[in-house]
Amino acid sequence: MSAEIQAIIEYLEPRPGQWLDLEEGLKAVLRPDHIFVAAAEPWFAVCSGVTGGGLGRRRYFLNRQVKLSYNEVRPEEEMASFLEANFQEYSGADSGDWAGLMTGAKVIDAGWTRLTLRDSRVTVIVTAGVNNACTAGITPCCPLESAGRPLGTINIMAFYAHALSAGAVINAVQTATEAKAQTLREMQIFCPVTGAQATGTNTDALIIAAPDRPPLYPYAGPGALPGYLLALGVRHALKRALERYLQWKKNSAAG
């Protein structure tokens, strides 16, 4: 029996506006223009987004939907203004508690999965738009904005039920990226500029977070248990998000 069959895979379908418990001390809510995840205490996290980028301890996690025409010169400042206006949890004094991403994709169409195997568990939330799909190392540097195409983004948020070392968190970034590229290959997503099979979009971002809760895993590469579950979760969540995105595009073209 394969590890994938043994893993418990749950598809979560949050009701808009209602809080959903993801893990002990971690809850999430889906709202019209964002997905908000809040921890009772700060978690160790890595973020490549506009807010809270880098490694550090974060308590609040956000994937915010913006207009496809979004083109702020200083997105960090605009995001800070958005947080201050919409979240009582936010103030300039504790802005370091936040990790935030932006996307033009519809947050309502996100894929949510939770995977469990033995003492490891991870919840993965993915939003996806691939209008500006690109192929790393082949697509020229940022040509799509000048071509007048609205942006798309694949944003990944992953939350573990247990601790990861700093190295394992970096491992997880690698693992999630490899799983994303494999999923795009399987779904036959191509770069519109070069025609090559896409590995992502030119605006992708992610958050990986873990609590201070045993066991502590030192690795999260694709061959390690937490890495395997993350990769599997990314594949399932991204596939679901992309299926919804492609259906939306098909309906929009027909309409």
Q: Which helix (H) or strand (E) holds 152?
A: none
Q: Taking 70 as the threshold, does the pLDDT of residue 110 lie above it? A: yes
Closest Cα to residue 232, out of 119, 116, 61, 103?
116
- For the segment 127-164, what is each residue's pLDDT rounded down to a tens digit? 999 999 999 999 987 644 444 455 689 999 999 999 99
CA distance 120 to 84: 35
User: To the nearest whole number, what is the mean pLDDT of the chain?
Assistant: 92
Q: Taking 90 as the threshold, does the pLDDT of residue 71 lie above it? A: no
- For the segment 33-61, what is each residue's pLDDT rounded down to a tens digit? 999 999 999 999 999 999 999 999 999 99
Q: Kindly report the number of other CB atoms within 10 A of residue 21's CB atom.
A: 9
Instruction: Delimit the domains of the chain by residue range.
Output: 3-254
CATH of range 3-254; options 3.40.50, 3.60.70, 2.60.40, 1.10.15: 3.60.70
Contact at 8 Å (CB) between 108 and 30? yes
CA distance 52 to 45: 9
pTM for the predicted model, two decimal places: 0.94
Instruction: Please give the pLDDT value at position 3.
Output: 53
Greater model confidence, 249 or 125: 125
CA distance 43 to 209: 6
